[in-house]
A and B are shown apart, each in its own frame.
Chain A
Amino acid sequence: MTDAISSFGAVGRPVSIHTDDAAKARLKGRYRTETWFKWLGAAAVALAGLFLVLLLSTIVTQAIPALRQNYVTLPIDLSAAKVDPAKLDEVNYDAIAQEALTAKFPDVTSRQDKRLLRGLISTGTGVFLRKDIAADPGMLGGTVDYAVPLDDFADLYLKGLLADVGSDEAISTTVTPSQTSGDIDLTFGDDAMLALARGHGATEGENGMLTLTSGASSLLVAFNGGTVKLTALSPAANGTVIAKGTVIEALDSTAPAASGQAFLRVIETPEASRKISDKMIVWLDRLKSAGLIESRFNSIFFFTGASREPELAGVWGAVVGSFLTMIVTLAIAFPIGVSAAIYLEEFAPKNRLTTMIEVNINNLAAVPSIVFGLLGLAVFLNFFGMPRSAPVVGGMVLALMTLPIIIIASRASLRAVPPSIREAALGIGASKVQTVFHHVLPLAMPGIMTGTILGMAHALGETAPLLMIGMVAFIVDIPGGFTDPATILPVQIFMWADFPEAGFQQKTSAAILILLVFLVIMNAIAVILRRRFERRW
């Protein structure tokens, strides 16, 4: 009692170890720790969220251009003189399409320029034409307007991804050409052009002469129905400027263009550092202003197989390959995995052997996936002599990889079924097998399904195990069966990321997006199954 008396404080209230100053400080400290922890947790979530948003937004913004493809509509001559209906397979459709394009530009005559011009349309044009004619022979016999996909560089330029296209402004002075074609002189009414050329990387020479090399921005002057590319400028009498230029598109006349009638187009990216030349840009702009170019939903990307040309490359082959592989994986891993789980959980005696097996299954779930690929190579390909690059082998390898995940998940959900269910079933005379299959398994099924779907989603994203069995390959034909060579979505992404052509960058992101959509769908199904069918006891 003496202790209690001495612990009364100055104000007369009892002071215990729970209320004295030290306790208050401790309490404050505890609250502080809690606040800290809450904030840290929130910060961790926010950081993770930030990274996710960053990742997704980069992929989405990169992928968006790949969802559309530019087409140019050309009048294709399919009259009997060009296409013999009896010999449809021997016709050079590419040449017919190229002729239709060059006919649009009668003033392009040199061999080199024609080659550049032909390069504007996709090299796959002939293939599309042949296919469409085979599907609709009614096209034959006359001239049809046919939309031809543009080549990847032309397509990227029109999407604004290849060159930094600057201003397109009216020139506020007169422009007088010396000729209508070839290398010509242009006279500008004032010297505003000089400052402009200096600002765009022109090289200073003698007597104030400015040279625009291929390392400087391109200055294109459009007037009198044509376009001239400036190559050099020098000041002349009366404050005028004489510019040397190359005509890209012939002018109608040598009449001077009044102030505001000529337009200056600046392509900021120097010609030397882009994959599309000034000529191609001018031609494309002409086609565009004629209303012949149209941006369409990129059905090629979604419904064709792989290709080395970015504008012809599609994911369908990989999607079908992934689907076939997943079917094999599911058909093998699910029954074996669930059976193994049921036996281990419900029937197997608990002894050293089953403990060993259990440890091994858990270990197997953590083995790096490439090891399963090596196993597949050694056993399935070399020993059983199965075909390379086939979904059946890929599916079997991935099944081995998913098996431990399914077994672990299934065992966990079987264990979660309360013993009272089993006891009740056994109590009214059901056999062990009847108990398991009529009562325990149906109740454990939502959990098993969830585990399986998550395992499959994991398998869908794997590339490493398939490297060894030849599924990381360039495969154009869309697989028609389990033994046809096939590739899968993540492999397609990996390969596109490795191709040098700039057009594949967008395709890579778009393919990642498709893979993510599939994964989200699978995970959503898993969540729905769990929510709807899960029982709690």
Chain B
Amino acid sequence: MKKFLLTASAAALALAASAGYAAARDQIQIVGSSTVFPFTTAVAEKLGQSGKIKTPVVESTGTGGGMKLFCQGVGENTADFTNASRAIKDSELKTCKANGVTPVEIKVGFDGIVLANSKAGTVVDLTKEQIFKALAKNVAVDGKVVPNPYKNWSDVDSSLPATKIEVLGPPPTSGTRDAFVELVMDAACQEEVKAANEKGCGEIREDGAFVEAGENDNLIVQKLEANPNAFGVFGFSFLDQNADKLQGHKVDGVEPTFENIASGDYGVSRSLFVYAKKEHVGVIPGMQEFIAEYTSDAAWGPDGYLADKGLIPLPDAERAKWAENAKALKGMGS
């Protein structure tokens, strides 16, 4: 027994020590947004199947978390790419630069944010103003800013059904939430609310009408199925994949379809990005192959496999422009 204990602890120590001297990394590491995750993983897998390089490792850390890891610095222990469901912020770019990181920006496509409910529920046609009134923490009633008094959709607008306002949506850590606030809440903000509090537009009510359902969009889908009166806020790809259970609602008269989001008619859509670390090109094997695969028409084109996964492709001209930028490794702010 004594011998066993001694050998076991020796082995453990040896193991711990050997791990300290990690060998040079030969596999790409990608972090970032959970919205871009399904697309980046598909590209990673395709590239791995081709046998040219080891399949990149993709983590879903959220846009903000990904930026933090990505901008940490240059070297084997930092990520090579980060996914983002919004453009890099000035403050993040500054951190990147300060740590010697030059990000190469690649806009990969669009994602629509949809308001959907179960097929058993009613179809409504909403405007951004109505959504703001239903979900904002403070709204203006007769020129005065008061905590949101609306209980039913019909209180917001008499044309809407007399059902309780119940919306399931992403938590504040999510990029989807950021985009929803920016595209709907800020866009349709009432003057009085804005005047009262500069940040008041983005505040979503916390009295139970808006339920933060976590980052797991599948969970929202299941909850919507169970409750036909509830609405959900999530990315278009989930609506697309669950077309048999859910229906999307028109916002400002435009239906959330693939074509309407691609053409830009649907108002609640955002751009998705991937940032590459220029300093790692040539150091970590496969960086250029990964960029080339992502920006190939077989992947992000209108008939590419990413479109099958729910990514809405960029218009041809824009795609060509971003592909060229990526190929030339045009770093930001240089």
Contact = CB atoms under 8 A, between A and B. Distances in A.
Q: Are A and B associated in one complex?
A: yes
Contacts of A137: none
A307 B241 contact: no
B48 A476 contact: yes
Given A272-B243, A273-B243, A308-B42, A477 B54 contact: yes
Interface in A302-355: 307-309, 328, 331-332, 334-336, 338-339
B1 interface: yes
Interface size class of A (residues with CB under 8 A): 35 or more
Contacts of B119: 273
A497 B218 contact: yes
B5 A497 contact: no
A485 interface: yes
Contact of B77 (A328, A334, A388, A437): A388
A498 B219 CA distance: 8
B19 A500 contact: no
B2 interface: yes
A430 to B, nearest CB: 14
B51 A123 contact: no
B237 interface: yes
Contact of B58 (A127, A442, A473): A473
Interface in B1-56: 1-2, 5, 8-9, 11-12, 15-16, 19-20, 22-23, 25, 27, 29, 34, 37-38, 41-42, 44-45, 48-49, 51, 54-55
B19 A386 contact: yes
Contacts of A396: 16
B57 A473 contact: yes
B244 interface: yes
A307 B45 contact: yes
Listed residue (A162, A336, A476, A477) with the most chain B CB atoms within 10 angstroms of its CB: A476
A499 interface: yes
B94 interface: no
B20 A384 contact: yes
A207 to B, nearest CB: 29
Interface string A387-405: 1111011001000000000
B41 A275 contact: no
B15 A482 contact: yes
Nearest to A389: B57
A510 interface: no
A133 B243 CA distance: 39
A331 B54 CA distance: 29
Contacts of B38: 308, 499-500
A245 B322 CA distance: 45
Contacts of B23: 483
B173 interface: no
Interface residues of B, number: 50
A225 interface: no
A502 to B, nearest CB: 7
A283 interface: no
Contacts of A384: 20
Contact of B16 (A332, A381, A476): A332
Contacts of A106: none
A335 B238 contact: no
Contact of B309 (A308, A335, A482, A502): A308
Given A123-B305, A437-B2, A474-B37, A331 B12 contact: yes
Contacts of B237: 500
Contact of A339 (B9, B51, B244): B9
Interface of B: 1-2, 5, 8-9, 11-12, 15-16, 19-20, 22-23, 25, 27, 29, 34, 37-38, 41-42, 44-45, 48-49, 51, 54-55, 57-60, 77, 119, 215-218, 237-238, 240-245, 303, 305, 309-310
Given A335-B12, A387-B22, 6 more contacts: A332-B12, A396-B16, A442-B1, A477-B48, A498-B218, A500-B241
Q: Which 3 A-B pairs have the closest CB atoms?
A: A500-B241, A476-B55, A335-B9
Interface of A: 89, 115, 123-124, 126-127, 162, 269, 272-275, 307-309, 328, 331-332, 334-336, 338-339, 381, 384-390, 392-393, 396, 437, 441-442, 445, 470, 472-477, 482-483, 485, 497-502
23 contacts: A89-B51, A127-B49, A273-B119, A307-B45, A384-B20, A385-B20, A385-B22, A385-B77, A389-B29, A390-B22, A392-B16, A393-B19, A437-B2, A474-B59, A476-B48, A476-B55, A477-B48, A483-B19, A485-B29, A485-B57, A499-B38, A500-B237, A500-B238
